[in-house]
Structure 1
Amino acid sequence: MSQSGPSSIEPTIVPRDQHIVSRSQISERALTVLYRLKNAGYGAYLVGGGVRDLSLGREPKDFDVATDATPDEVKALFRNCRLIGRRFRLAHVHWGPEIIEVATFRALAPSDDADEGERVLEDGMILRDNVYGTIEEDALRRDFTINALYYNIADFSVVDYTGGMADLKAGRLRLIGDPAVRYREDPVRMLRAVRFAAKLGFVIDPETALPIPRMADALDEIPPARLFDEVLKLFMAGQGVETFESLRQHGLFRYLFPATDTALDDDEHGQFVTFVARALESTDRRVNEERPVTPAFLFAALIWPAILAQLPKGRLSPDLDRELVEQAITEALERQLRQVAIPKRFAMPMREIWALQPRFDTRSESRAKRLFSHPRFRAAYDFLLLRGEAGLVDPELADWWRAFTTSSADAPPPTPARRRRRGGRRRKPPVADGPEG
């Protein structure tokens, strides 16, 4: 396939003995794709997060391939290949649950695109007609320098057009090109900057960070459904606390959770911030221990300050009218859904967790036992403990419930009733032989 395009940047070629990317760490299926493309005469490169993570000594989640072969040419090499996408076609090579994505090098958009008024906004992204290009153009189209590294299967070198290797060594996250232009193209890149910095423990380059506060309102253009997916990536990757702090620092959190952000700003004692931080710490711990995490609990915690802010004195007290609490819940959730869409399968459990909180204001064992049998009790109880840790509930009440739950969990299950044998005589009940008989 012939390529044409600018050739103004001389890449840095990092030879095999000067980097730590190894074929032994690459998926066998990805290697098959790379070698088959190479043997057919095409350029074949591992690219993006796979090269980044391997260069940092991390285990990649997936392996993406870039090539100068067109999608149709890729499909001709793999019977198990499917072409997807309408504007820009991608090849997906399937091996059971594993999919290797193969993308043809993309060309840069014309520099005068912004002046022609031909851009189309779709899912908050400025789109252009994509055409195939060179590896250099493909590199310059990518977002961050550390995601624009290419591992060449032909000689096992790493090809670097943007200074990504130096940024990896420096622990620096830097956008390719003018940050303001790149954020206008896709405002979600601001969230990605925070997410990658938290995930990798990197510092956002000052020039990359500078436009974020003044451009953060561009996130209002992003559809709520897409922001839901981004919130999951931000807070369910095991670095939720750092991500939360960075989002607040750069003025982004308010465009994801506006009512919560206002409540956090207005909270004089900092209890709301403590509550959110404790919830994120708990989520991070479960993620890092590879235990299941539900978005319902996470979103319930992130929105809770917005609910409390509507209540007298910003607290949930035993004498509050239940209808007032329900109204606060409804209004907070409706406002949140205008910003970030939350599927019903998560929104319903969230409402149950919130609605059960007033029922914990009791130390009656009979009432506690009824609440203990509720199918959403465990999540609501964990939520109560977080409230206690943040000082949003009487510590003695939280301790009472902790003791009650422990004793209830340790109690033996009730003895099942004996079944009558068919055709047999009714057995006499056993004779009581103790004080509990």
Structure 2
Amino acid sequence: MLKKLFQSFRSPLRRFPRPRHTPEILSGRQHSLHSEDINRHAVSVVERLQQAGYEAYVVGGCVRDLLLHLSPKDYDVATSATPEQVRAEFRNARIIGRRFKLVHVHYGREIIEVATFRANHPETDDEDDASHLASRNESGRILRDNIYGTLEDDAQRRDFTINALYYDPTSERILDHTRGVHDIRNRLIRLIGDPEQRYLEDPVRMLRAVRFAAKLDFEIEKHSAEPIAELSDLLCDVPSARLFDEILKLFLGGKALRTFELLLEYDLFAPLFPASAEALEDNPEYAGTLIRNALANTDQRIAQGKPVTPAFLFAALLWPALPARVQEAQGRGLPPIPAMQEAAHELVWEQCQRTAIPKRFTMPMREIWDMQERLPRRQGRRADQLLDNPRFRAGYDFLLLRESAGEQTNGLGDWWTEYQEAGDSERRSMIRELSNRSDDSGAPRKRRRSGGRRKRGANEGAPASE
């Protein structure tokens, strides 16, 4: 079906040549950007390439962000020079990439990324110079993209209008082939070209549309938004390692909560987290509250400059799907902790088929979940042993997150909060109180052996929490 859909776009493009467009040129008086606003290394790269006879511009997200008075994360340069020609101009440069060749010009730890102008992708595989063809799979997704072209070609093949702005620091002009400045002023995310075709070429563009809309507080233009829900399943064909990287960009950019709402709105959450999406349908109040609270906390920590870990983020995103699996495992006779471990292993394995979460994150994720079964077990020396556990803090924070979503834990979060702040004598008193509570409730307790012979008493057995 996707192959037929892709083919339906191909023949019109072969029969009718794409019209040429004269760019809108904005002088320094027509926009707020100035050359001193641009990173000096990026300016240096542009000037050196221009002096060597090539076209060169600062391009993309950095231009967009500066027009919005935001601080760019990095700086990109687009040029008519090929990667080999760029490398010849800079000793501190190296070519990277296969699918999309780029040049990284190094200035200490800072990197200026330089890309050669690209052209639109050919519709047949019998063009000149097969080594520079853009190859596609049968659904239309681009697998390789090294077809060089003109500045206009480069503008037309970029994804969104707001990312297709070219700034010349020498003349302080902005070249706008796609009315990107207009869309910035109107706070719109608009795809360049036919939206369905562009999503078929690269389904990750649907996630990028959501990410930019959340990051910039823009709306996705209606024609660009319309096909997303119908094509969302295309994400299932995207390599799992690439989807993991995209998820980090979506949720660790400081706008995770807004991103989550947009993913739900456009049916993009289920292809990324199928088990969690199912849990959201089954129990929308609890699952939705827990995930939203976790994402709001993530946004707050990023705004405060505090560290965030993908392990805690993924633990929260996947947790709503876990309790039912733990319950099912316990129904088969497994004790609570082994049931948790088996269910966690199964859930993480399934998720990694969709998004390749590295082991350095899956291990602490599972330890955070495992801690949820251990935190209620506080008798004797266990409380102090849990406090010494390197995952205690993350497990405790996760417990509070569960409680914030309405989960009943019989005051466990308050108990651990008080225990951490208490002195030694107060802690011993809290542990005794727990034991007395178990005695009063008639719960069985385990008694110590006396000498070499075991004596049975009326209350002997497993501790209440076991």
1:14-413 residue pairs with structure 2 within 5 A?
Answer: 14-86=26-98, 88-111=100-123, 119-121=135-137, 125-127=141-143, 130-267=146-283, 270-312=285-327, 321-362=336-377, 364=379, 366-394=381-409, 396-407=411-422
Q: Which letter does structure 1 place at the counterpart of 2:234?
A: A
- Cα shift at 1:111: 4.7
SS of 1:309's equivalent in the other structure is: helix
SS of 2:21's equivalent in the other structure is: coil
Output the CA distance in 1 between the equivalents of 2:420 and 2:98: 55
Encode CA deviations 1:307-344: one digit per residue, 9 max, x unaligned. Answer: 023244999xxx96333222221221121111111111
Encode CA deviations 1:170-200: one digit per residue, 9 max, x unaligned. Answer: 0100000111000000111111111111000
Output the CA distance in 2 between the equivalents of 1:35 and 1:118: 30
SS of 2:104's equivalent in the other structure is: strand
- Cα shift at 1:42: 1.9
SS of 2:175's equivalent in the other structure is: strand
Q: Which letter does structure 2 place at the counterpart of 1:50?
A: C
Change in Cα spacing, 1:88 to 1:403, as seen in structure 2 (3 Å) is: closer
- Cα shift at 1:86: 3.5
Any conservation in 2 of the 1:83–1:90 contact (CA below 8 Å)? Answer: yes
Output the CA distance in 1 between the equivalents of 2:335 and 2:295: 28
- Cα shift at 1:143: 0.3
SS of 2:363's equivalent in the other structure is: helix
- Cα shift at 1:225: 1.1
Any conservation in 2 of the 1:38–1:154 contact (CA below 8 Å)? Answer: no
Output the CA distance in 1 between the equivalents of 2:56 and 2:185: 25
Change in Cα spacing, 1:129 to 1:233, as seen in structure 2 (3 Å) is: closer
Change in Cα spacing, 1:62 to 1:72, as seen in structure 2 (3 Å) is: same
Any conservation in 2 of the 1:283–1:293 contact (CA below 8 Å)? Answer: yes
- Cα shift at 1:128: 5.0
Any conservation in 2 of the 1:65–1:102 contact (CA below 8 Å)? Answer: yes
- Cα shift at 1:118: 8.5
Aligned residue in 1 for 2:441: none
Q: Which letter does structure 1 place at the counterpart of 2:313?
A: L
Change in Cα spacing, 1:321 to 1:102, as seen in structure 2 (3 Å) is: closer
Q: Which letter does structure 1 place at the counterpart of 2:86?
A: V
Encode CA deviations 1:206-253: one digit per residue, 9 max, x unaligned. Answer: 111111111010011011111111111111111111111111111111
Q: TM-score, normalised by structure 1?
A: 0.86
Output the CA distance in 2 between the equivalents of 1:300 and 1:7: 50
- Cα shift at 1:6: 7.2
Q: Which letter does structure 2 place at the counterpart of 1:221?
A: D
Any conservation in 2 of the 1:75–1:81 contact (CA below 8 Å)? Answer: yes
Output the CA distance in 2 between the equivalents of 1:129 and 1:296: 34
Q: Which letter does structure 2 place at the counterpart of 1:394?
A: T
Output the CA distance in 1 between the equivalents of 2:422 and 2:409: 20
SS of 2:383's equivalent in the other structure is: helix
SS of 1:127's equivalent in the other structure is: coil
Encode CA deviations 1:116-161: one digit per residue, 9 max, x unaligned. Answer: x984349x94135532211000000100000000002342111100
Q: Which letter does structure 1 place at the counterpart of 2:179?
A: G
Aligned residue in 1 for 2:455: none
Q: Which letter does structure 1 place at the counterpart of 2:324?
A: A
- Cα shift at 1:405: 1.8
Any conservation in 2 of the 1:263–1:309 contact (CA below 8 Å)? Answer: no
Output the CA distance in 2 between the equivalents of 1:320 and 1:280: 32
2:33 counterpart of 1:10: no
The alignment of Structure 1 onto Structure 2 pairs a total of residues equal to 403
SS of 1:120's equivalent in the other structure is: coil
Considering only aligned residues, what root-mean-square deviation do their CA atoms show, in Å? Answer: 2.8
Any conservation in 2 of the 1:254–1:261 contact (CA below 8 Å)? Answer: yes
- Mark the runs of 5 or more structure 2 residues left unpaired by the alignment: 1-16, 127-132, 427-466
Output the CA distance in 1 between the equivalents of 2:99 and 2:425: 59
Change in Cα spacing, 1:310 to 1:213, as seen in structure 2 (3 Å) is: same
Output the CA distance in 2 between the equivalents of 1:409 and 1:130: 67
Moved more, 388-397 or 241-250: 388-397
Encode CA deviations 1:369-427: one digit per residue, 9 max, x unaligned. Answer: 1211111111111101101111123362211111112226999xxxxxxxxxxxxxxxx
Moved more, 48-57 or 354-363: 354-363
Output the CA distance in 2 between the equivalents of 1:410 and 1:239: 44
